[in-house]
Amino acid sequence: MSNNIIRGRKDIKTAREKNTGEKRFKLTSIQVIMVGFIALILAGTLLLMIPASTAKGESTDFITALFTATTSICVTGLVVVDTFSHWSLLGKVIILVLIQLGGFGVITFYSYAMLMLKKKFSLKLRLLIQEYYNLSSISGLIKFLKKVVYGTFIVEGIGAFLYTFTFVPEFGFLKGIWVSVFTSVSAFCNAGIDIIGPDSLIRYQTNISINLITMFLIILGGLGFVVWFDVVKAVKKMSKKHISLSKFFIQLNEHSRLVLNLTIFLILSGAILVFIFERNNPDTIGNMNIGNKILCSIFQSVTFRTAGFASIPQGDLTPSTCLIGFIYMFIGGSPVGTAGGVKTVTVFIIVLNAVSYVRNRDEAVVFSRRISKANVSKATAIVFVSMLITLFFIILLINTSDANLLDAAYEIFSATATVGLSRGLTSSLNMVGKVIVILAMYLGRIGPISMALFFTTSRPPKNDINYIKGHFIVG
């Protein structure tokens, strides 16, 4: 009976459209995200162009405002002007709000605003949230959304509180708190923008407290909210003595276990490689003692994966370290988090699929769980399109700006992966170069694969035709 009613309503709607010539245009979730980010970027640009947003004696043109709004919303961290000196307090507040909104994402921000206004969530909005966070069902979405927002503020608050022990004595009470809040939000959202000075965190490169707090926030933001809640759930079970410490890891789902393993592996392997290639470089860590060398190597490994803060001069890194940086920046953080890149699990699926083929296995399996062919295809498409976009922008930047291959590649890998590290090229770019980096940051934040699907307002039906298998030679 209900199916007949629904079918009847569809027929009436179709007839109305035929008679009136009207056809409602509906945006897909991908288009909502893309348009939403553009709207926030434009709004941020207009706000930053207000004279009151610029420090006394400074002026802000449209491209500078657009670049700053884009790097803030896309939580990248590349800047064409010094944030601490160019912008007034109002400008810095606007940038901080943009970073927070960018860290949450368009869907989360809009959904939470609806929640605060006590508006009823439509089925379309619920499906948007489900797709945005890659959730298996729409049940419990409101509770999940609240946990994301509250969890974010709690972690950022803890980070800000811990920062005050260093920044308040250095900058004074009010400014110290402000710097602590700004740095905490920027670190958790993996933005890498700071208001401390022109050299990021280089002045704190041997400060264990600042390094550990920043890495803690970056890693938590990059793990992904799904992993957070899974770990918290397991911790609660352990605290109630339902499980022992030895069985803690087993209680986590396969995604959380994989993300944690990959995160630890990438941090340690990156730190080891940075240490090897930079240990004798006097311009970075060559003149430090062994403890500080290890600390800076670990920090560089963490910040490579979409953070953007620097504790050593990026322009003085060896070419080998830069090459390693390309790989780690491209990988980025983990799904459903604040980090960028193609994501750890995406790259792992492709590598595991290749290993399975070499070992003559029909399926890729991890933790006794099979990875679906759909996930393998999706991962391959994401990596292919992302790499294609990155290489395309590198070629564009080299041919439109006075930049060598290494600096241009470092800039674009940093932009498309929303990292924010630079070898000093950003501020010297011409207008065309700045526009190229703006586009790279935007595509990197929304995901290049989304761009390919932007104009697809509805998914075409699956092809039911089975073609004859062709004979193609591969390799």
What is the DSSP secondary-structure string of 1-37? -HHHHHHHHHHHHHHHHHHH--------HHHHHHHHH
DSSP 306: T
Which pLDDT value is given to residue 327?
96
Q: What confidence score (pLDDT) does residue 462 get? A: 60
CA 421, CA 191: separation in Å to the nearest integer? 10
Global pTM value? 0.88
Q: Which of 219, 211, 184, 179 is nearest to 288 (CA)?
A: 211
- Cα 285 to Cα 274: distance, rounded to the nearest angstrom: 10
Alpha-carbon dihedral 199, 201, 202, 204, rounded to 10 degrees: 140
Gyration radius of the chain's alpha carbons: 24
What pLDDT shows up at residue 12?
Answer: 43
Measure the CA dihedral 309/437/343/121, to 10°. Answer: 100
**pLDDT value for 8:** 46
**According to the model, what pLDDT value does residue 278 have?**
97
The per-residue pLDDT for 146 is 86
What's the confidence (pLDDT) of residue 466?
Answer: 75
For residue 51, give both structure tokens: 């004279």
Rounded to the nearest 10 degrees, what angle do helices 141-171 and 173-188 cross at?
A: 140
* Amino acid at position 110, single letter: Y
Domain extents in the chain: 28-452
pLDDT at 275: 97
All residue ranges of the chain with pLDDT < 70 are 1-27, 29, 136, 241-246, 448-464
| Residue 87, SS3 per DSSP | strand
Q: Are 336 and 225 in contact (CB under 8 A)?
A: yes
Q: Residue 446: name the closest of 109, 76, 43 by CA.
A: 76
Whole-number pLDDT of residue 460: 58
Sort 221 into a burial class: Cβ within 10 Å, 0-12 / 13-18 / 19+. buried
3-class SS of residue 54? strand
Question: What tens digit of pLDDT does each residue of 383-420 get?
Answer: 999 999 999 999 999 999 989 999 999 999 999 999 99
Query: Residue 337: what pLDDT?
Result: 81
Classify residue 444 by its DSSP letter: H
